[in-house]
Structure 1
Amino acid sequence: MADTAMIVAALLALAPVAAASGITPERQAQLEHMVVQDCGSCHGLTMKGGLGRPITPEALSAHDPRTLAAIILDGLPGTAMPPWRPLLTEAEALWIADYLKKEKAQ
């Protein structure tokens, strides 16, 4: 239950961030590279799964981007999914979540 409360709190904090993300095209390219290289190292380079679950648009279709952003930022306790909060802003995590829901694997 504590994990659920943490995710809900993160979701509420992210609501205003989506409207004012201001992520530059250069940073978007860096984030895209990070998804392929860093996320791909566990989720597979085609995002179809590996150590981590699949993170294709189809696999994520039932999940809200804000929920995914909270998972990206804070990880999933008891799993291999680490928290990326030390390296990403909330706006960047939300950008990645939207990217994963829209983009096809490379």
Structure 2
Amino acid sequence: MMDLVAHVLIVVGALFMVLAGVGVVRFGDVYSRMHAAAKGPALGVVLVGAGAALSIRTVQATVVVILVIVLQLIGGPVGTHLLGRSVYRRIRPPLMGADELGPVVDAEESD
């Protein structure tokens, strides 16, 4: 039974990663692509890692899987934030709402 649950988690996690890749290719603006590149793989890695830990069932493998998941959950959002900030500073793509970052970036550039 545990093997079945592990295999389902791995397949669902892989599907999330594939859908995130499709989202990166298909979405129109930069911010939507960044969202797809950050959220989908993070959930996919968590599900694949949980499935791998359930499938292998050793302490060492579980510790490695937990470390991989934690690093993914830390590194993904940080990288996406840096990418978004860099895109905003260089390109200034049109926004759909209020531009709350504009005055801060303008003040930093004038210093």
Tell me the TM-score normalized by structure 1.
0.27
Greater relative contact order (Cα < 8 A, sep 6+)? 1
TM-score normalized by structure 2?
Answer: 0.26
The structure carrying a bigger helix percent of its residues is 2
Larger Rg: 2
